[in-house]
Amino acid sequence: MPPKDKAKAAGISASSFFDLKAELAKQEEDFAKNKAAGKGRSITGGTKLRDTKQTIWARPNKGVNARSARDVELEAISKPTMEHARAALERKAKIYDKLRKGKSGGLNEKQYEGLLVDFDTMGPTHTLDSDSEDEDESKQTPKILDQDDPIIEYEDEFGRVRTAPRSEVPRHLVPNSGKPEFDEDEDVIIYNPVNHFPIYEPSAERVAAVNEALSEANNPLGVHYDASAEVRAKGAGFYQFSGDEDTRRSSAPSDPFAALEAQAKVSFDNGKGETKLASLSAADNFLAQLQEEMSRGK
């Protein structure tokens, strides 16, 4: 006859159920802790699943990728600029070394005077480098000729004629050929003849006509002011004299005091023609005083 209790038939006791329950509770507690800590969840067997969702600490900041791309582009753009700056610095370093050794370095007098370092006071420094005279010349490689640094002849301190690049020649031994100072823009300057541009030369008839128009015969000094040549409002007391010299002299009074005296004596009272003796005497006194003051002024 089969047993009534299936658990007993399978050999499972009540303690086994409690152990399984405790294990499940422990697994649930660990899962909750891992989830709160942001760790990936795991399954039975220890195989960790890939967490597709990144945490806030693992995600990159906004715009980092765009800035990185821009940095790459700027680096590609600035690379030629850096190479150009490097070449310029190397060229300046060579010039400085030559100046330090007492050579001209390819600079003219004006450029040498504008230097911030007084190489003459420092004096030339001789070091065992590529410019040393003790070095074996057979080991030196031929240098490429530079158009900006031509080979010139100069006379050294012992009277020997030697040839060397201009930048290698000492400053006090650079020959003066009488030409203008070396200029970097010399190739750009165009030296034209003096009369390169056309010059206006008037004809003899034109010169004679201008001289005649400006001669004293056509421009007399006795020309009086002509008010008709000006378009403007004249004052209330304006008087236009005649342009004719004879008419002008006849219209002008010979004795201005006599004219003033005649004008002062002719006075009418209410249209009756009665003379004002008091006014005439006052006018006579005024004219006498005025004439006396003018005679004193002379």
Q: Is 162 helix (H, G, I), strand (E, B) or coil?
A: strand
User: Which is nearest to 267 in space by CA: 280, 256, 282, 257?
Assistant: 280
DSSP state of 159: S
d(CA 99, CA 89): 15
Please report the pLDDT score of residue 196 as a whole number.
Answer: 58
Q: What is the 3-state secondary structure (H, E, C) of 41-71?
A: CECCCCCECCCCCCCCCCCCCCCHHHHHHHH
Inside any domain, residue 15: no
Give the count of domains, the chain: 1
Please report the pLDDT score of residue 57 as a whole number.
Answer: 77
Inside any domain, residue 112: yes
Model confidence pLDDT, tens digit, residues 217-249: 777 666 777 788 788 888 877 877 777 778 877
DSSP state of 273: -
Inside any domain, residue 227: no
Inside any domain, residue 101: yes
- Nearest-Å Rg of the Cα atoms of the chain is 58
Is the whole-model pTM more than 0.85? no
| pLDDT > 70 in the chain, percent | 59
> Residue 271 — very low, low, confident or very high, per pLDDT cuts 50/70/90?
very low
Q: CA 40, 42, 48 angle in degrees (round to 5)? A: 75
Model confidence pLDDT, tens digit, residues 90-126: 888 888 888 777 777 777 777 777 776 777 666 555 5
Average pLDDT over residues 121-150: 57
Inside any domain, residue 25: no
Inside any domain, residue 167: yes
Alpha-carbon separation of residue 41 from 38, 44, 53, 86 (angstroms): 9, 10, 12, 56
Q: Which residues pair with 151 in a beta bridge?
A: 165
Inside any domain, residue 170: yes
163: domain range?
Answer: 69-123+151-179
Between 120 and 167, whose confidence is greater? 167
d(CA 82, CA 218): 77
For 238-268, give the DSSP string.
-----SSHHHHHHHS-S-HHHHHHHHHH---
Inside any domain, residue 96: yes
The answer, yes or no, to whether residue 9 has pLDDT greater than 60, is no
Q: Which residues pair with 9 in a beta bridge?
A: none
The H helix count followed by the E strand count for the chain is: 9, 2
